[in-house]
């Protein structure tokens, strides 16, 4: 007797297998008649999408459908945009002044000088620390001298001066750039680049000062502080206070200073070329998308914003959310995947976890812990952990982190646009209740809670966060300075 699966189907499909007997050819060579009593329902089975299904089905087909739908919808927007506005790309259309370029070049050359001023401060501090240790060794044979009191008398005033010098240096680094950008640089993109550069160097300055302060304390008080990481033994304090060590930290793709970093053995030139090609391609794409699609949407929203037509504003937000998300994702890949990896390869920087799978974040808090690891590492090491070590609760320390981050975001957005509205600051502060609200979803057993948390994250990120902030700052810019470019001014 042959199995049913061996019988070819006349329609071209493979036959359904069954344990029921199927007639086979007899001795005379004739095929017996097929019987219609084959059991098609022989066991209990749940629906494929039912909750009681033992296996989770693959949704690859639905994913392909959503990707195709997204492509078709955006192609429709491309055609609609072209039919309505024509080609808006104009290389010669700009509104920056020659003064903006000159000041940007000066700031770019001047800001890193504050790192070398910090190095000079650390050289003086290291020299004094070595002299204090020498003085302690000379008095070891004098038990009548309290070593701790001697250290306090000789050392603390110098540390106060060192901390004051670092504070002044870091403050000037950020203050000078912010004043110049706000008062003298008109173009918001050029101002943003200058302000971002100053913020990065300022954060590096702070990390350099905090880390070397604690390394000095560990050298002066062995046994009183936690043991240093084993990685640091290759370059103990004060051997790390060199221009070469500082220069590496200056260009390394991290905001957290360490005397030693994990390093790779060689530089892959092909890898660097590919990453730079990605940066160039994505930069062109961002420019085209911004000029052709984002600018008209923002410009057409001005009248609705002025008249407080909330329904139309909501429609503009939803339309803007698509292109702003695409531009943001392209920028994220260009910076965190391409630029930082290319820089890490050139510097042979080994730790390249610049981000984690933030797109799967089951809560808002998980997103902030995973999407920007350089900033997260700085906040955790130099703000959250010191506050927690001083007895602050998790909520209080986290609140301080987001307040500090809100100030930085407001400076990065409000100063280059010459409109300090507080929107970016409030956007960061609002993350605190969102994190508290989605944290229970992250801890729920099963996938339902994580799916809900991930949806809340994407809604707050794509629909409410970026588009609303872009719309408000663009409206404030237009109200204060007029059209952003010659090309978009014709659309008003």
Catalytic machinery residues: 409
485 SS3 class: coil
- If one counts every other C-beta atom within 10 angstroms of the C-beta of residue 438, the result is 25
Residue whose entry in the numeric block shows the structure tokens 């297998």: 17
Query: Per the structure block, which two tokens stand in for 219?
Result: 């050298």
CA quadruple 79, 80, 84, 90: dihedral positive or negative? negative
Q: In angstroms, how far is the first alpha carbon of the chain from the final one?
A: 81
Helices (H), 221-239: none
Two tokens, residue 484: 């952003």
User: Quick check: helix, strand or coil at residue 22?
Assistant: strand
**Alpha carbon distance 203, 194 (integer Å):** 14
Please answer whether residues 4 and 17 qualify as being in contact, where contact means their C-beta atoms are separated by less than 8 angstroms.
yes
Nearest to 407 by CA among 436, 383, 372, 374: 383
SS3 (DSSP) at 31: strand
Q: What are phi and psi of 31, to 5 degrees?
A: -90, 130
**Cβ-Cβ contacts under 8 Å for 322 (sequence gap 6 or more):** 74, 77
137: phi then psi, degrees, rounded to nearest 5: -65, -35
């Amino acid at each position: 007797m042959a199995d049913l699966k061996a019988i070819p189907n006349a329609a071209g499909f493979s036959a359904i297998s069954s344990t029921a007997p199927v007639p086979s050819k007899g001795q005379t060579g004739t095929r017996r008649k097929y019987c219609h009593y084959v059991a098609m329902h022989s066991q209990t089975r749940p629906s494929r999408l039912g909750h009681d299904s033992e296996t989770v089905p693959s949704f690859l087909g639905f994913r392909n459908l959503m990707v195709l739908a997204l492509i078709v919808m955006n192609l429709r927007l491309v055609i609609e945009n072209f039919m309505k506005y024509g080609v808006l790309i104009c290389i010669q259309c700009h509104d920056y002044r020659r003064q903006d370029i000159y000041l940007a070049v000066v700031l770019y050359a001047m800001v890193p000088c504050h790192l070398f001023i910090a190095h000079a401060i650390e050289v003086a501090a290291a020299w004094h620390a070595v002299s204090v240790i020498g003085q302690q060794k000379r008095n070891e044979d004098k038990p009548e001298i309290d070593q701790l009191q001697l250290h306090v008398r000789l050392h603390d005033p110098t540390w106060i001066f060192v901390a004051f010098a670092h504070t002044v240096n870091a403050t000037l680094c950020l203050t000078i750039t912010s004043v110049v950008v706000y008062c003298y640089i008109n173009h918001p993109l050029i101002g943003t680049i200058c302000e971002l550069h100053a913020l990065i160097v300022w954060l590096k300055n702070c990390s350099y000062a905090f880390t070397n302060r604690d390394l000095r304390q560990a050298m002066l008080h062995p046994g009183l502080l936690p043991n240093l990481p084993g990685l640091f033994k290759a370059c103990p304090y004060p051997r790390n206070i060199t221009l070469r060590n500082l220069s590496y930290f200056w260009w390394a793709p991290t905001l957290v200073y360490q005397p030693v970093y994990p390093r790779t053995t060689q530089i892959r030139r092909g890898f660097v070329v590919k990453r730079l090609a990605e940066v160039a391609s994505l930069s062109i794409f961002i420019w085209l998308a911004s000029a052709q699609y984002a600018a008209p949407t923002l410009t057409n929203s001005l009248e609705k914003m002025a008249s407080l037509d909330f329904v139309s504003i909501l429609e503009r937000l939803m339309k803007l959310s698509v292109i702003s998300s695409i531009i943001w994702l392209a920028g994220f890949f260009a910076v965190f995947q391409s630029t930082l990896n290319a820089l890490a390869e050139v510097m042979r920087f080994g730790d390249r976890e610049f981000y984690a799978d933030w797109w799967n974040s089951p809560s808002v808090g998980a997103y902030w812990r995973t999407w920007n690891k350089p900033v997260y590492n700085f906040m955790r090491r130099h703000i959250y952990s010191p506050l927690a070590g001083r007895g602050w609760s998790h909520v209080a320390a986290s609140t301080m982190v987001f307040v500090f981050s809100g100030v930085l975001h407001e400076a990065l957005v409000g100063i280059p646009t010459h409109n300090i509205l507080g929107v970016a600051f409030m956007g960061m502060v609002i993350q605190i209740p969102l994190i508290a609200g989605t944290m229970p979803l992250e801890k729920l057993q099963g996938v339902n809670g994580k799916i809900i948390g991930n949806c809340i994250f994407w809604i707050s990120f794509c629909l409410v966060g970026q588009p609303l902030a872009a719309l408000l700052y663009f409206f404030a810019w237009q109200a204060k300075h007029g059209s952003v470019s010659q090309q978009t001014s014709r659309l008003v």
